[in-house]
Amino acid sequence: MKNKEVVKLLQEIGQLLELKGENPFRVRSYEKAAQNIAALTEPIEKFVSNDKLKTIPGVGEGIAKKIKEYLETGKLKYFDELKKVFPEGLLEILSVPGIGPKTAKTLYDELKIKSLAQLEKAAKEHRLSKLHRLGEKTEENILRGIQMVRKGGERILLSSALFLAKPIIKELEKCPDVKDINLAGSIRRKKETIKDIDILCTAKKSDVVMDKFVNLPQVKEILAQGETKSSIILDEDIQVDLRVIKPESYGAALMYFTGSKDHNIALRELARKKGYKINEYGLFKLGKRSGRVSPRGKGAGSAKPVRETRVAGGSEEGVYKKLGLQYIPPEIREASGEIEMASRNKIPRLIAQSDIKGDLHVHSRYSDGAGKLTEIAEKEKSMGLEWVGICDHSQSLRVAGGLRPNVVYEKIEEIKKINKKNKNFKVLCGMEVDILSDGSLDYDDELLSQLDLVIAAIHTGFKQSEEQLTERIISAMENKYVHMIAHPQGRLLGKREPYALNMEKVLKTAQKTQTFLEINAYPERLDLYDIYCRKAKERGILMGIGTDAHTLNQTENLCLGVAVARRGWLERRDVLNTISYNELIKTLGRKKRNVC
Ligand code: DGT
Ligand code: CA
């Protein structure tokens, strides 16, 4: 699968074109194509073989041809020619968040900076801050950006990791020797980025499973093949570790390798206080007369062997229970109060995928999405949902096909007709309205009042001060027609830090104005993030999951939103997507009635 390579190629072409001063629409189409390919749930090669490349938004005739050439020959003449115009190393510099083509050019012209290492050196020596236009703050941001690029290279998005892991699990499950199998580590906890994929299983004969594992077609390199652990590198340069565990230890091992490390440390401490020992082999009662003598176990400073008896280990539930704890779902095993809550039986029933009835944020062909309204409705319906909020971009976001007011009215009419025809599925006419630099909205109240769903978002002016950005969001929330703030923190994982916001103020205003906050489930965003979801919940703020889908397949990313919600301890009642269409309409009307 070459999705990652193609994304990088298109992003780099976009950057070089921007540097050349090309038409911004052309630049944007490369960016958009790259973004949409990054979020694909299928290999790009499949789109080529099925002749479906042009169904991906942003991929027109020209880009499709380039992708084909690259996949067929491993090279792209157009890109090679384009690169010749610029110094080598420039692309590396452009990958640093906050360094756009203009800054890169200044750095080259004035300081002869041609590589990441030279850039880092210059920033550390404060040579950047002396340049015209670049202040100390930019210099700090650049240093942070360099770290992000380096870190970003080591970790992959949760969606990509799941995409790579699922077929491996499926293949191994087919092995008749395999009994239990599960993901562990950060991918099981659904962290937003993943370093490596951890898999655990039980098997009658470990060598058969290990053989199958290291011979999977997607394996690029075998790092190790052993009886209990094997490690491979996939074509995408991601490491996968498989451990074969004895059935009596499977639960304990799953807990240990799921982590988090801090959760494990806290559990170990609790176990110790209760007279147990916990490790990846099981939970053992210490000091009893009966039982085995620990092979390694000698009490600290004592010459007497410590006797230990296994009291649990086969299942996670069994281990938690013996420790006097309620079962703790993997997503909240982060040592953030879950153990104490579990000891008091206070772990809530977290929201589940099966609770979801709709998606609040999908783009259609009206702006920069690929699907027609009816196609989106059909797709969502086929996933068992009951409603969808179709929120296209507003007029000032021209590069993303923002809608002029008269077109919004056309969309309203079309949706009315669709809803009339459909009894069991409803489309909400929504818009993702830009919060402009001065905090005003991109449409007037008259138009906003006609919409079923208004989500407001910042797409420009990220470099404003914390005060300005916070004020922009606050003033949007103070508009009685704004239901929800989309991707409130504006980060792009591995590419752009969240913009400077005073989150306490944002949460306080959301609570006061009864504005909802989005959990944007676009793989690169996952924004609002878990810790703020939890804070929002504590304030009684309702959250809404939006996939921000630009293609039909991207609507399947709802599961990522559910993952973030679970990591944020959210329950069904905290999330708008779990209510029926009629309840939703009522809930959306509440702000207008109560607050403003
Ligand atoms: P990652 O791979 O960086 O995305 O995050 P994890 O959490 O998957 O970390 P990884 O793969 O290094 O280790 C998997 C799990 O193994 C981790 O979540 C907890 C457990 N673990 C690893 N090292 C230690 C350790 O030193 N002490 C304890 N108690 N547990 C550990
Ligand atoms: Ca891991």
List, for residues 519-539, the tens digit of each pLDDT value: 999 999 999 999 999 999 999
> For residues 513 and 508, what is the distance between their CA atoms, to the nearest angstrom?
9
In degrees, rounded to 5, the angle at the alpha carbon of residue 340 between the alpha carbons of residues 337 and 343 is 145
Return the percentage of the chain with pLDDT > 70, whole number. 96
> For residues 364 and 548, what is the distance between their CA atoms, to the nearest angstrom?
10
* Whether the predicted pLDDT of 494 surpasses 60: yes
**Cβ–Cβ < 8 Å for 210, 244:** yes
Residue 403 lies in a domain: yes
Determine the straight-line distance between the first and last CA of the chain, rounded to whole angstroms.
52
Do 332 and 216 share a structural domain? Answer: no
Residue 136 lies in a domain: no
* Whether the predicted pLDDT of 301 surpasses 70: no
Residue range 274-303: average pLDDT? 71
Most ligand 1 atoms within 8 A of CB, residue of 183, 241, 261 to mutate:
261
pLDDT higher at 149 or 394:
394
> Distance from the CA of 596 to the center of ligand 2, in angstroms?
48
Q: Specify the residue for token string 């002016």.
A: 461
Residue range 424-431: average pLDDT? 97
- Domain assignment of residue 329, given as a range: 252-286+307-344
* Predicted pLDDT at 297: 46
* Predicted pLDDT at 146: 82
Residues with CB under 5 A from ligand 2 (ion): 185-186, 196, 198
> For residues 156 and 431, what is the distance between their CA atoms, to the nearest angstrom?
31
Contacts of 126 (CB under 8 A, 6+ apart): 136, 139
CATH code: domain of residue 266: 3.30.210.10
Do 495 and 364 share a structural domain? Answer: yes
* Predicted pLDDT at 151: 63
Residue 150 lies in a domain: no
> For residues 440 and 100, what is the distance between their CA atoms, to the nearest angstrom?
26
Do 336 and 471 share a structural domain? Answer: no
> Distance from the CA of 259 to the center of ligand 2, in angstroms?
9
* Predicted pLDDT at 138: 77
pTM of the entire predicted model: 0.81
* Predicted pLDDT at 289: 52
pLDDT category at 304 given cuts 50, 70, 90 is low
Residue nearest to atom 23 of ligand 1 (CA): 261
> For residues 408 and 429, what is the distance between their CA atoms, to the nearest angstrom?
9
> For residues 282 and 319, what is the distance between their CA atoms, to the nearest angstrom?
8
Do 238 and 259 share a structural domain? Answer: no
CATH code: domain of residue 427: 3.20.20.140
Do 226 and 198 share a structural domain? Answer: yes
- In ligand 1, the atom with minimum distance to the C-alpha of 186 is 8
Do 476 and 585 share a structural domain? Answer: yes
**Cβ–Cβ < 8 Å for 373, 552:** no
Contacts of 529 (CB under 8 A, 6+ apart): 192, 489, 564, 568
pLDDT in tens, 438-486: 999 999 999 999 999 999 999 999 889 999 999 999 999 999 999 999 9
- The total of structural domains in the chain comes to 4
Closest CA to 427 of 487, 394, 395, 385: 385
> Distance from the CA of 199 to the center of ligand 2, in angstroms?
9
Q: Specify the residue for token string 């752009």.
A: 496
Do 279 and 420 share a structural domain? Answer: no
- In ligand 1, the atom with minimum distance to the C-alpha of 264 is 29
Residue 172 lies in a domain: no
453-457/484-485 β-pairing: parallel
Most ligand 1 atoms within 8 A of CB, residue of 158, 198, 493 to mutate:
198
The helix or strand, by DSSP H or E, that contains position 278, with its residue range, turns out to be strand 276-279
Residue 559 lies in a domain: yes
Do 256 and 201 share a structural domain? Answer: no
> Distance from the CA of 253 to the center of ligand 1, in angstroms?
12
DSSP state, residue 500:
P
Partners of residue 193 on adjacent β-strands: 157
Do 446 and 564 share a structural domain? Answer: yes
Do 256 and 231 share a structural domain? Answer: no
Mean predicted lDDT score pLDDT of the chain: 91
* The last residue of a domain, from among 57, 85, 113: 85
Residue nearest to atom 12 of ligand 1 (CA): 185
pLDDT higher at 369 or 251:
251
* Predicted pLDDT at 235: 83
- In ligand 1, the atom with minimum distance to the C-alpha of 191 is 4
* The last residue of a domain, from among 60, 85, 110: 85
Do 358 and 340 share a structural domain? Answer: no
Closest CA to 158 of 198, 199, 184, 194: 194
pLDDT in tens, 48-104: 988 989 988 889 999 999 999 999 998 999 999 998 888 777 888 888 877 877 788
One-letter amino acid at 53 equals L
CATH code: domain of residue 49: 1.10.150.110
Do 380 and 231 share a structural domain? Answer: no
* Predicted pLDDT at 70: 94
pLDDT in tens, 113-155: 888 888 988 888 888 887 767 777 778 778 877 877 776 567 8
List pocket residues of ligand 1, CB cut-off 6 Å: 185-186, 191, 194-196, 198, 256-257, 259-261, 264-265
* The last residue of a domain, from among 85, 100, 115: 85
Residue 579 lies in a domain: yes
Residue 121 lies in a domain: no
* Predicted pLDDT at 117: 86
